[in-house]
Structure 1
Amino acid sequence: MNTKPRTKIFYDDDYVLDSGIETRTKAKPIAKLIVSEGVPGVEVCSPRKATRAELEEVHSSEYLDSLWNGVQDLLRSLLASTGGVLDAVDQALIDGFSASLSSGLHHAKRTHEEGFCFINGLVIAALRALNVHKLTDIGILDLDAHCGGGTFQLIGNDARVRLADVSTNTYDSWKSSELRHHLKIVRDSNNYLNEVEKALKHLSGVQFLIYNAGMDPFEGCGIGGLSGITREVLQQREKLVADWCRENKVPALYVLAGGYEGPNLDLEGVARLHLLTIKEFVH
């Protein structure tokens, strides 16, 4: 009998807005693909809503006031999506892997949104792992095409957190002399997987991993793509990360991060790229 737990992936239709950038629309087709393709070892679960108090650990009251007084559909999406990330922290520490079909996280700053990102769920998740679960050495692996400057701003000073950021675009880049911080901008796709391996080595020994699994390095993406980073390269990347977690017995949660339509890439194609992550992170 197979007693391995199913990987719980948090999603609710509240994550999704009816229109706009793929950051707010792609979770629904991904959830549908999980069901229609019968991805084995996966269970889609509804999350709780994040509370304002949880968001205030990271963002200013003035900024949150603007969200609370703004477009209510957006606020609903942000609370559901952030709640899913928080639930995934708890679940990953029980089962080994978990996920939330959340995106639009790593550029968000303390006082404002930036780059399609409104709430920095990566940092909120990290604080839950540190302050609720009492972990003392966690890693954030960011493989979005763009740098995670918001994450660095919000938690870069916390000695309990190691950052590893491998990007293909300088947007929202950051600088640090701290050994626990690793940032690499890849210009040549032939070096991409080697740089991912170096980033994982940088995270050796962490107790927990938060993975921002961007698909926008894909050469067909309209925003951030790098020629030579094919679907096959991204599949190898996801296998590298998932196998590293298994081999090192590191519990992990992942979120979607970037992934955008292009001239020959529609929304279903974007969703199928994200499915690569989901298929690798099963028990």
Structure 2
Amino acid sequence: MLKIAWSEIFAHSLPEGHRFPMAKYDLLPEQLLYEGTITQDNLFAPEPLDEPFILDTHDAGYWHRLRDLQLTPSEVRKTGFPLSEQLVQREVVIMNGTVQASLFALEYGIGMNIAGGTHHAFTDRGEGFCLLNDIAIAANHLLKYKSINKVLVVDLDVHQGNGTAQIFEHEPRVFTFSMHCGHNYPFHKEKSDLDVPLAEGTDDATYLQLLRHHLPRLLDEVQPEFVFFQSGVDVLATDKLGKLGMTIDGCKARDRAVLELCQQNNLPVTVSMGGGYSRQIAHIIEAHANTFRLAQQLFF
């Protein structure tokens, strides 16, 4: 059964001024339930992640200052959110959503988080609407507690997964692959194991050709036992922050390419939603919903 992390805290704990497009965290499950792609049985509400699992990835000093709301004004500005107890609680729930989705993926082949994809969080700081790094926390959980020895991160958000790259810079058991707009945030890029920077306006055909060239080769070379897929839909041409030229159909073809390879190679995969900032919320919901539709179609 497809298991999907979702909690009301994903959308309802955000400050005024940040509710759109974060409304997708409520609208997306509503759409999937309405159309019959999922039922309530597919959804699970994660509890907050226990602190020791956070400290397997993040610097203790940073985490304690974040937990106790003691970040400096400069650190808070870089996150993009005003700091609050509710916001930290939201982040900790999202972290466990991805951890639990990963455990479900070991059982069912795939697990998903309607939130997550917080790839701009570093070991010791947050950036770009990311306070903690769910992909890194979940990957470290599998490496430490579940006998997984090789992880591939496939980050296809329009922005480079700079925090994930930094966290795993010296961890040979995790291979980080980021395909992103080259001239976009973050303006200082970290070094992933493989970075594929894209030109502004990159269209569906060019994007998919590059992805289909790199990803099968990486599966052969890296020989991962588990995949984390950051499936941000800010690659759309309609996205306010994206700068690429992809259509909703192209984004769906991207997701199909990743998920089919995982399914065909018996690779468990955890999917985090990542970014999406199109002016019309319907574009965001449709692009994200396609990811869940494909998961049901391909795995169940």
Same fold (TM over 0.5): yes
Of residues 13, 26, 29 in structure 1, which corresponds to 2:27?
A: 29
Q: Which residue of 2 aligns with 1:3?
A: none
Letter in 2 for 1:226: L
| Aligned residues of 1:164 and 1:199 also touching (Cα < 8 A) | no
Change (3 A) 1:61 1:81: same
If the length of structure 1 is used for normalisation, what is the TM-score? 0.89
Runs of 4+ in 1 over 6 A off after TM superposition: none
Q: In 1, are the aligned partners of 2:111 and 2:269 still within 8 Å (CA)?
A: yes
Q: Which of these residues, 227, 237, 252, is aligned with residue 209 of structure 1?
A: 227
Give, in whole Å, the separation in 1 of the partners of 2:32 and 2:277.
19
Is 1:106 paired with 2:109? no
Tell whether the 8 Å contact from 1:105 to 1:118 is kept in structure 2 after alignment.
yes
Any conservation in 2 of the 1:104–1:118 contact (CA below 8 Å)? Answer: no
The answer to whether the 8 Å contact 1:15/1:81 transfers is yes
Aligned with 2:6 (options 8, 11, 14): 11
Select 1:116's aligned residue among 126, 129, 134: 129
Which residue does the alignment assign to 2:247? 230
Return the letter of the residue paired with 1:174.
E
1:197 aligned partner: 212
Aligned length: 270
The CA RMSD over aligned residues, in Å, is 1.8
Aligned match of 2:150 in 137, 161, 167? 137
Among residues 259, 264, 277, which one is paired with 1:247 in the alignment? 264
The unaligned stretches of length 5 or more in structure 1 are: 1-5
Secondary structure (helix, strand or coil) at the match of 1:119 reads coil
**1: CA distance between counterparts of 2:8 and 2:265?**
34
Contact 1:104/1:119 (8 A) holds in 2: no
CA distance in 2, matches of 1:220, 1:44: 29
- The residue type paired with residue 225 of structure 2 is Q
Please show how residues 1-283 of structure 1 align to structure 2 within 5 Å. 6-16=1-11, 17-18=13-14, 19=16, 20=18, 22=20, 24-40=22-38, 43-70=42-69, 71-103=84-116, 105-170=118-183, 171-172=185-186, 173-175=189-191, 181-187=193-199, 188-189=202-203, 190-201=205-216, 202-204=218-220, 205-227=223-245, 229-262=246-279, 265-266=280-281, 268-282=282-296, 283=300
What is the SS of the residue equivalent to 1:134?
Answer: coil
Kept in 2: contact 1:15–1:76 (CA 8 A): no
